[in-house]
Homo-oligomer: A and B are copies of this chain.
Amino acid sequence: MEFVRDHELEFVDTLLLSGSRKRFSRGDLIYSETESPKGLHYIESGLVGLTKMSASGNESLLRIFRAEQFFGHRTLFSNEKYHATAKCLENTDLVFLEKKLVFEVFDKNPSSYFFLARALAKELRRAEDRSVLISEGHIIERVAYALILFKKLHPEHIWTRTEIANYCASRTPTVIKAMGELEKKGAIRQNRRYIEILDESILIDVVEDLQ
């Protein structure tokens, strides 16, 4: 969840002033599936992924939160238990905001729930777009789509092949082979773990070809 800059309101600052700060490392869990929310989380720097594991070993990467965004809001305000796990994709500095405080501040600010609803609406669209993608596309399209999306939203992060696979509902070796194809087409260049997009239009073509 991110509050739109234009409308950024003092109540957000109020919240952040009263939070407690903590540093996490890549791989650390912030919260786990089935736990009850104790508050809201805000990212000062770093990257957090919302993932859901299955016993068959598949880990889905459902949502990604970056610096200056909140997360944990869906569960907190819906009065449920976490349905997925929040895990650091990078070393991350977090601010934790006590549940009681969050509700106080939100209830005092009439527009807060409107912004919350807007954020959830956007996340719902993205979740449904992703589910259409993974339910029909060939793997090369899915990877192309993920690369475009990641470049746009989280360009600073070094995406591992496994993270891409988890987003694409595929597996590491398959993603590596697909990226080999994309490199052959001249769409990307791979240099060690770094992925450079040479020609985004080729990626877009790949995605649209079969959609």
Contact = CB atoms under 8 A, between A and B. Distances in A.
Q: How many copies of this chain?
A: 2
Interface in A55-88: 55-56, 58, 60, 62-63, 74-75, 77-80, 83-84
A131 interface: yes
A95 B211 CA distance: 33
Given A54-B136, A124-B124, A60 B118 contact: no
A75 B75 CA distance: 21
A189 interface: no
5 contacts: A56-B210, A62-B132, A74-B124, A124-B124, A130-B131
Nearest to A62: B128
A136 B58 CA distance: 7
A55 to B, nearest CB: 6
Given A60-B135, A118-B78, A211 B54 contact: yes
